[in-house]
Structure 1
């Protein structure tokens, strides 16, 4: 059996585990490959807006998290038992340097950028899964109608309860697990591009 080939997906009838996926499937910069309840879930790369928000948010969170000794990542492999998650945003208690994956119990905050085709996963399923294993905070960014909103939830008695939220044009402010604020509109990073036709004139 050749190692690290997607062909292996057709060779197993039994359920998959996070460790099997990490050992047998190739690393890639394209589709996201996760494992949930024994099934491999492959998700194509998101739209340009989603990737822009992920880049901008990751950059800004990195500065804020490092000030309090936490480690921010985006699209990091997170192992939860036999499941393998790849959240859009992960704030960890320790560095993942040199690692392929991190245990979910190192996560202080996990976040998802809602995709139009995966709204149920990002709004209902994924936070429920993170809450079940005790991740203290969940962050959600929604880009519906290209109007970014951010909401932060804190785990209380086994469920996430909202503690801060804001839409584009207002200020999102959070105090825990570290101080961070932003106008969600800034996440799209849209500045007027030069009008080439005007320059030609």
Structure 2
């Protein structure tokens, strides 16, 4: 007598958001699925691109220094123009979920876990040595395709920070302003902001020589 075929039981879904879901969910991921099924985290970035979940560990300390200083300074300038700036917030673009290093919004993101990319005025990325192609080529292309008006890039190559601002023109980002450490980066649009890129890195002040010391 032929034996009956039994379908395998579906894997149990966790009662609350858990990274365990990455082990059994084998369908394409979307931004909404990630927001619903994965837990909030202050650790690695968890993004969704083209149906896949991308987990990125924290970058180096120089990256973290810039990510502490730049959003604070940009936010103060942005508020004067009626915008709001945030570090590392969830940005939904169709089925994709991005977490840029810096995001400037047209309105406050308060009370929300994610914002649609249509509300974004400017995105900023700090170039990481291990993800240089992503930060310099791939992400700007994706943000441009989504229609984000401005892109700000921070490059820390050889620990000489530089900033470059790009404006979306005919579907591509065109350079608008740039400066390296020791000079002043100035942008006029979408709001007034200036900084010496050198001020974004943590550096100890030179030791003061005391008279009489050898």
Q: TM-score range by the shorter chain?
A: over 0.9
2:98 alignment partner in structure 1 = 85
Instruction: Supply the distance in 2 between the matched residues of 1:192 and 1:172 (Cα, whole angstroms).
Output: 22
Which of 193, 200, 210 is residue 187 of structure 1 equivalent to? 200
CA RMSD of superposed structures (Å) = 1.2
Which is greater in Rg? 2
2:119 alignment partner in structure 1 = 106
After TM superposition, give the deviation of residue 190 of structure 1 in Å. Answer: 1.7
Instruction: Supply the distance in 1 between the matched residues of 2:37 and 2:26 (Cα, whole angstroms).
Output: 15
1:198 alignment partner in structure 2 = none
2:187 alignment partner in structure 1 = 174
Aligned pair count reads: 195
The structure that is helix-richer by fraction is: 1
Q: Is the 8 A contact 1:56 1:189 kept in 2?
A: no
1:38-187 paired onto structure 2 within 5 Å = 38-187=51-200
Structure 2's unaligned 5+ residue stretches are: 1-12, 209-214
Instruction: Supply the distance in 2 between the matched residues of 1:19 and 1:73 (Cα, whole angstroms).
Output: 21
Structure 1's unaligned 5+ residue stretches are: 196-201
After TM superposition, give the deviation of residue 192 of structure 1 in Å. Answer: 2.6
Deviation above 3 Å: which 4+ runs of structure 1?
A: none
Q: Is the 8 A contact 1:141 1:150 kept in 2?
A: yes
